[in-house]
A and B are shown apart, each in its own frame.
Chain A
Amino acid sequence: MTSTNLTTGKHVVVTDFDGGEGILVDLNTKRYYQLNETAMIVWRGLEQGKSIGEIVADFMSSYEVEPDRATLSVQRLLDSFQIYKLVSAK
């Protein structure tokens, strides 16, 4: 399984809200990010050190979606987390 090579930033705090949604707080920038249920699945997967394949599997167990599309969505979310410096390389 391909590793994400990413880990959630120590400077980021996550809090659950409204069932599956969440809020991320970047303690460095004081910026807040609202995560929908999909993004929270990816974030939780990163926290647990899961591989991309495992996160995609989590994704597919929650939503009816083709593997390719699920992989693309997960990758896009990982890219976004990197762009906003919410994750770092392991």
Chain B
Amino acid sequence: MAGETPGGTMNADNRTRMRAALKTAVGKALLPDAGLNHPGRFEPPPAPGYDLFERFRTELTKLGGTVHDAASAGDVADIVLGRLANVIAPKVMMWDEAHLPVSGLADALRAHGVQVLMQSADRARDDAHRAELASATVGITGADAGLAQTGSIAVASGPGRGRLASLLAPIHVALLRRSLMFESLPVFIDRHPGVVTAGANFVCITGPSRTADIEHVLARGVHGPKEIHVVLLD
């Protein structure tokens, strides 16, 4: 494979040269406040007490997201169906149910005439499959954490729990176990660093897609979802 890889010899030469140059440079670098040792973990004083769920709700709502409470697959289905009311031949894209905190959601949706699309790893490069996934109105995923301070959810990818479900469709519905609510992203990373690298991708999603590039005026739903709904379940 090495012979086929572009940049082969140049890469090896550059690697040697750049590594040597870096070694020399760090020896004479003027770096104010550089300690010999890594500064360690940042331990902020404990946050003033606030209800994590209230804070999460407030923050996400401020960003234009919506927080729901649900107790069953049926509840979740109702929420999803609510967003599909005016859609002809509605489609949703969903994670494998093994990765969701409720079971029976796909059946509940199908019972109401919704087509449920699942990603296939084998068909990842199949244009027809991707086009079909892109036609879904809602993408349904789980979440590895809720982050109260910022109204965010953290989602690790994996087999059966792809990224496109939270990315392609204009509406994203994320199912979050209440037991997975944390104070903030740094706190979550400190407690569960392994989740960050569990899959090929880890994303912290904070509200719907947005831009202010044109005249600094806010517009939502640029490339990612225009709506994000987080459904809290026990």
A, B assembled together: no
> CB within 8 Å of A: which residues of B?
none
> CB within 8 Å of B: which residues of A?
none
